[in-house]
Structure 1
Amino acid sequence: MTAQDRGLLLGDGLFETMQLRNGTVPFLANHLSRLEEGCRILHLPSPDRNMIHAALGRLAAANSLTDGSVRLTLTRGPGPRGLTPPATPHTTLLITTAPSPGHAPHPVRLHISAQRRDRQAVLNRVKSLNALPAILARMEAQEQGADDALWLTHEGEIAEATAASFLALMDGQIVTPPLSAGILPGISRARLLEAGLCTEHTLTETDIPHLQGAWLVTALSLTPVTAIGAQDMSPQPELTARLRDFLYDSP
């Protein structure tokens, strides 16, 4: 990556964070499909899948890492000064690994962000390198004594957290906001829906006092939520264990 790279200068690119388990990346095809859809939206050339497969294997072996995480970062590459991208981009692909933390994530408290999510914003659908809204929302939450922020839409619907999909237990059923709430199409979220372990359901701020539990879910972790604003959430250890087993321990 050079000093002229648009990913560095403008956040012009995408990324995927993936689990590394026993030296391989589970559901790699799902991640690459989402990356390719993001490339289509941003008019970026998609990286070659075979090259990524080979690079992941070499990198895990070189780092002597069997369990942890992999981050794939794709930028438009170097370009002239200004916003207009080059007619023929020369993309930059960066793949890094990190070891597993070795423990389940600690439960978190959520703050309802003062920011509001635009349901129609195209960047909701991609894992963009433009993370400033999430950074500011996370900082706002921490200033309020919380760990993370929960975004609502302008219409008052619950969307997602700053870097995770939102799950809730409502009337004995696990539900998650629909994509129409302007959320990222999460890989773990999609797997839970496909397996029938949760359903899509529109949630609003007025539903929060009626939730029996809540979680944040990513490709790497399932995190219980202990409170949303002033509303405490009941712990759900059995459901948490069941969801974690399906997402991260089952073959």
Structure 2
Amino acid sequence: MATASKCKRGILRYWLSAGPGNFLLSPAGCPASAFYAVVIDEDFSQRREGVKVITSTITMKSALFATMKNVNYLPNVLSVMEAEDQGAFASIWIDEKGYVAEGPNVNVAFISQDKELILPPFDNILSGCTALRLLQLAPKLIEQGRLKSVKTGNLTLMEAKGAAEMMYVASTLPILPIVMWDEQPIGDGKVGELTMALSDLLWDDMVAGPGNLRIPLPYEE
């Protein structure tokens, strides 16, 4: 796709559909499935400015629909619109047990005051490929003495808001610093040094390509 389009910097997006038919709920009226691959020419760059987020009041998707790729994006759309109405970039979902879950189409990650990288576990949210790759690459910062540990684990709303740094993690970002949550600063309210170090790791990894050595996932607590 990239070769055919001659796009050197952009995004590949894929859609698998039941195909053309009668537009009813059942796919029985569709004679054949359809697979769409689209190249989007977009010169996106590393995100160095922090954004503001809110806690979403929109009900998050159930685990069944959150843990698999599907077109059930209405909660995501409503969540983004709610945030934009309040002057924020996007939002954060809190699950029924009071733990931080994810954002709309993005994972979320935190740097604790003890310099631990923590991502919410993927039991009830999407295990994004960029979030998984971040867990693979982040131990490099442990080797450098900049991070204490890397793990997945539950965080309450209060614990998360008390983090030193916070970020969105997704394929088109791949990391977007978050500096304000519900009008409360995260850490000192500035883009964190470790957030940008993690961003550098992901950007360098993208440049290196698929031949780069894959590091085993750390133990998930």
Amino acid corresponding to residue 68 of structure 1 in structure 2: G
1:225 to partner: Cα distance: 0.1
Q: Does 1:66 pair with 2:14? A: no
1:180-199 aligned at under 5 Å gives the runs 180=123, 182-197=124-139, 198-199=150-151
Aligned residue number for residue 175 of structure 1? 118
Deviations 1:225-246 (A, max 9, x none): 0111122113344323321222
The two structures, once aligned, show a CA RMSD in angstroms of 2.1
Amino acid corresponding to residue 128 of structure 2 in structure 1: G
The runs of at least 4 aligned residues of structure 1 exceeding 4 Å deviation read none
CA distance in 2, matches of 1:142, 1:237: 24
Aligned residue number for residue 214 of structure 1? 166
CA distance in 1, matches of 2:170, 2:182: 21
> Which consecutive unaligned segments of at least 5 residues does structure 1 have?
1-55
- Aligned residues of 1:188 and 1:219 also touching (Cα < 8 A): yes
Aligned residue number for residue 60 of structure 2? 117
Which secondary structure does the structure 2 equivalent of 1:159 belong to?
A: coil
TM norm structure 2: 0.78
Q: Does 1:204 pair with 2:129? A: no
1:136 to partner: Cα distance: 0.5
* Structure holding more helix per residue: 1
- Aligned residues of 1:216 and 1:223 also touching (Cα < 8 A): yes
* Structure holding more strand per residue: 1
1:88 to partner: Cα distance: 7.9
Q: Does 1:247 pair with 2:202? A: yes
TM norm structure 1: 0.69
Deviations 1:157-182 (A, max 9, x none): 111111210001113111000012x2
> Which consecutive unaligned segments of at least 5 residues does structure 2 have?
140-149, 209-221
Equivalent of residue 139 in structure 1, options 62, 68, 81: 81
CA distance in 1, matches of 2:97, 2:129: 25
- C-alpha change, 1:86 and 1:201, in structure 2 (3 Å) is same
- Number of aligned pairs? 191
Q: Does 1:101 pair with 2:101? A: no
Equivalent of residue 231 in structure 1, options 177, 181, 184: 184
CA distance in 2, matches of 1:188, 1:174: 15
- C-alpha change, 1:229 and 1:142, in structure 2 (3 Å) is same
1:142 to partner: Cα distance: 1.1
Q: Does 1:156 pair with 2:109? A: no
Which range moves more in the overlay, 146-155 or 97-106? Answer: 97-106
CA distance in 2, matches of 1:122, 1:87: 25
